[in-house]
Structure 1
Amino acid sequence: MKEKEMMIRWMEQGTTSVPNVLLENYKRLSLNEQEMMVLLHIYSYSQKGITFPSFEELSNRMSMSASDCAGCVKKLIQKQVVAIEQGSQTGYEFYSFEPLWNKLASLFESEARGQSVQQAMVEEKDLYSLFEEEFGRPLSSIECETLALWIDQDGHEPPVIKAALREAVLSMKLNFRYMDRILFEWKKQGIKTVEQAREQGKKFRKPAGAENVSRSEHAVPFYNWLEQ
């Protein structure tokens, strides 16, 4: 057979595109190499339009017997990686990969949630440390509970709470009652980001005066949140 004819036949066989996310994470789906190879061959057949290859067809491609292939397929079904379904129009059985894609999606959703929780824990820890640094002492149990309520019950993000702390420092009213009122007003006005909080604070702050005005005079705003 000439090389040109051979190349044409190879091209006519087509290619199998395997998602990298599957190759990189099949171990996390509790699949061993044999199960993975059987899965890939089933997937390869499906891309050629053969949606329900026999165990003999799978065995012909591998160094496994048909019975071993059948055992692997059974495990793939038990592990909810593939499912055997029946076409509503044709009535023929086929391998469905929907369970596989769902498991991969759930894997990354769970990972994303874990990262979000970890990030939230870091932010909360930083928040408590910042408060103790500004107050110059450890927070009391009531103050810690108030901080937790701002986050868990009132739904304030740590950066917004930090912005409220900044307003309290600038106003020289470093107490939780004052900050609680600030956060209450911000929530009522729909302020949810640090940028929005800063803009709101600027509206009520005294404009910079002459150059000889002290830094503390620049920092103190006229606005008193407790008088709202």
Structure 2
Amino acid sequence: MARLILSHVMDSILRAIAQEEELRRLRVSPGGEVHFCGIVGSHPSMQRIYSLIENAGPSDATVLIQGESGTGKELVAHALHEKSLRASKPFVVINCAAYPETLIESELFGYEKGSFTGAIKTKKGRFEQAEGGTVFLDEIGEIPHSTQVKLLRVLQDHQFERLGSDHTIKGDIRIIAVTNRNLEKEAKTGNFREDLFYRLNVIPVELPPYENAKAT
């Protein structure tokens, strides 16, 4: 009987803790909107996204976030970083669509002094800058094929070289990639490397359209 009573009390305590955690996790504004790490939305589809962030945040697994423009993909990436064990380390952003093919690799991997015209000093790339933290690859679908091969190596071996160097650098980073394109379809048609897609899509996050995310 004592064990039954103790078990019942413990169940009640655990339920209370879970409810308190849920209240802490989801903040409701005076207007009735649900806020989670800066993300707004109370639709059940968004509730599932919040749970996924809580569960996937502490993992080091690569995340691929897909959704329409304006659905808060970068906010989700930030939330994943905040919930990770890397939260105190850098969160480094690179927009893959903002750089021409000739510059994207130097931005990602860095370069050595004299490796090309204008390289007057050695520069660390985004992967080195993010050591111990998270690299956020925005618009990953725009990355050129030549760079996709090198990015695949980073995902597989966590290794890369600066441009103009044969010294291999081993990085401790987590990658979160974002796109508004259907990368699975792009991979099947040959517009995106299929092996890279599967390396990125370890934890897939599909964001609902903006109007659904805001709906109650």
Q: Does TM, scored on the shorter chain, surpass 0.5?
A: no
Higher strand content, 1 or 2? 2
Instruction: Provide the TM-score with structure 1 as the length reference.
Output: 0.28
- Compare CA radii of gyration and give the structure with the larger one: 1
User: Higher relative contact order by CA 8 Å / sep ≥ 6: 1 or 2?
Assistant: 2
Higher helix content, 1 or 2? 1
Instruction: Provide the TM-score with structure 2 as the length reference.
Output: 0.29
